[in-house]
Amino acid sequence: MAKFDFAGLPPLTILKPDQIEQVHANALKILEDVGVYFDSDEAVGILADAGCTVDRDAKIVKFPSSLVLKCIELAPETIRLYDRDGELYTELGGNKVHFDPCSCPSNVLLDDGVSIRQSSVEDLKTIIKVADTLDQYDLQSGAVVCHDVPVAMDTIYANYLIMKGSKKPIIDGAIDVPGVRRTFELFKAIRGSEQAVREKPYAIFDICPAPPLKWSEISSANIIDCARLGLPIETISLPLPGAGSPVTLAGSIVQHTAETLSGLVLAQVIHPGLPFSYGGAPVLFDMRTTTTPMAALEANMISCGYALMGKYYGLPTHTYATLSDAKVVDYQAGYETAMSGLLCALSGFNMISGAGGLDYVAEFSIEKLVMDAEVIGMIKRLLRGIEFNEETLAQALIYEIGPGGDFLKSKHTRKWFKREQYMPSPVVDRQDRANWDAAGQVGIYQRAKEQLAAIRQQPGRPLDTDRSRALDQALMDVAAEAGVTVPLTD
């Protein structure tokens, strides 16, 4: 999409053009008059050299509007992502929608559908295989915390497992200052050189500000490292209406815009033209329970609003959806997953993370990940729309068949039915009652368990021997630097 333009907006436009412009104007004023806190002397210095007004003692940076506008113009309108083998995989931009699993849950729901335990390496391996096997998932993520790996290596090890088990590009991040640099060493092992990593991006790094209007030492360092290494980033602002951001949805969108643009400026002044995704993860602060539901309607409305800001700036966009705050895979999990996924897809988000997620992203269900693939498949079918041409209008066929005729035997039906209809897997029940009874009255959770068992039996896509050994060595080197040991995997 072009910069500062309303052409090509997505099907769902929750903000009008004049409201988008008002949010933009208000965010620029906040950046210029209020400023943003950076808990990083290096970041403050970089921004001062770029023309920002800084209070070095308070670590407050104020941004001239001219610099913000310049940096928006510098950021590319698309991000080209390459797979593990260096082949062009997709281009993020416009209203093209991609899905990937939820990231960062620390627990998994057991297959009894009720109990939970801490997540592990084996859980992440299974999630990676499911996301690699099912075509509905476009990207991989560091889906769960691996409690059996040292904390300093958590996201690095997740990337290692993904590179071992999947060809699909990665959406992930870092949890400490050296995390980006250490993960870069793993990418070099896969690509063969630093230049190849830069030329053919394999991953996008999530980097989160801390609301309101603050970048921590870790997040500041991650932006700086990604910019210097040429790694695409997406900033994940987390509006929390009534607690970490204004309770009004419009106010939260304004704050999200200011936080995101401040991260954009830091990245672009270091590396003009660095690929940048306009991301976020809004939640609601429930005043009754003091919980922070991510699947609340209002959180999705904030997402749909900031999607339009990202598109106004001509940037790729990201959000969290297709997840639920339920604790088990029940009716609530189903409607929250489907509703959030559909709203955000219609808002044209280029990346939607969250499938498999439960309990305020504290919990991951692999069975839900299998079920969510069907929701995503139906959403993608909707996004394709209704094809209109002479053959699909079928005027001549209707004349030919006539009243009381039979379309089932026609060549037209055989040609078009698979293209026109989304064909769900056996996870989705489309039998009549008699056949469902005869098949044992199996519910969707059991059908998902059976599908998961079948996926586990399928061959994976392991890395070739030479690159696998190089990746192992890179992992051992960065683990030694961190002063820890980690297990290698096939």
> For the chain, what percent of residues have pLDDT higher than 70?
100
Is residue 1 over pLDDT 80? no
Q: Which CATH class is domain 73-384?
A: alpha beta
Query: Domain locations in the chain?
Result: 73-384, 390-420
Give the pairing type, strands 203-207 and 233-237: parallel
Q: Which residues of 163-200 are buried (b: 16+ CB within 10 A; e: fewer)?
A: bbbbebbbbbbbbbbbbbbbbbbbbbbbbeeeeebeeb
CB distance 203 to 194 below 8 Å? no
Amino acid at 295: A
For the chain, the C-alpha Rg in angstroms (whole number) is 23
Identify each DSSP E strand in 300-409 by its residue range.
Answer: 318-320, 351-355, 357-358, 363-364
- Start-end of H helices in 134-216: 154-165, 179-191, 194-199
What pLDDT does residue 30 have?
A: 98
Q: Please, which residues have CB within 8 angstroms of residue 104's CB and are 6 or more apart in sequence?
A: 142, 144, 145, 361
Task: Give the number of C-alpha atoms closer than 13 A to the C-alpha of residue 239, restricted to the C-beta side.
Answer: 34
| Cβ 350 vs Cβ 303: under 8 Å | no
Confidence (pLDDT) at 490:
87
**Contact predicate 362/447, CB 8 Å:** no
- Would you place residue 325 in the very low, low, confident or very high pLDDT band (cuts 50, 70, 90)? very high
- Alpha carbon distance 158, 143 (integer Å): 8
Of 344, 375, 350, 241, whose CA–CA distance to 298 is shortest? 241
Phi/psi region, residue 443 (left: phi>0; alpha: psi -120 to 50; beta: rest), is beta
The torsion angles phi and psi of 421, rounded to 5 degrees, stand at -105, 135
What token pair was written down for 205?
């790094």
CB 189 within 8 A of CB 478: no
Q: Which residue from 261, 213, 207, 216 is spatially nearest to 239, judged by alpha carbons? A: 213
Q: What are 437's two structure tokens?
A: 């009874």
- For 57-61, the CB contacts below 8 A with 24+ separation are 60/35, 60/36, 61/35, 61/36, 61/37, 61/262
How many residues comprise the chain? 490
- Taking only the tens place, the pLDDT of each residue in 364-421 is 999 999 999 999 999 999 999 999 999 999 999 999 999 999 999 999 999 999 999 9
The Cα 354–Cα 325 span in angstroms is 11
Residue type, 203: A
- pLDDT at 449 (0 to 100): 97
pLDDT in tens, 205-257: 999 999 999 999 999 999 999 999 999 999 999 999 999 999 999 999 999 99
Closest CA to 227 of 174, 263, 280: 263
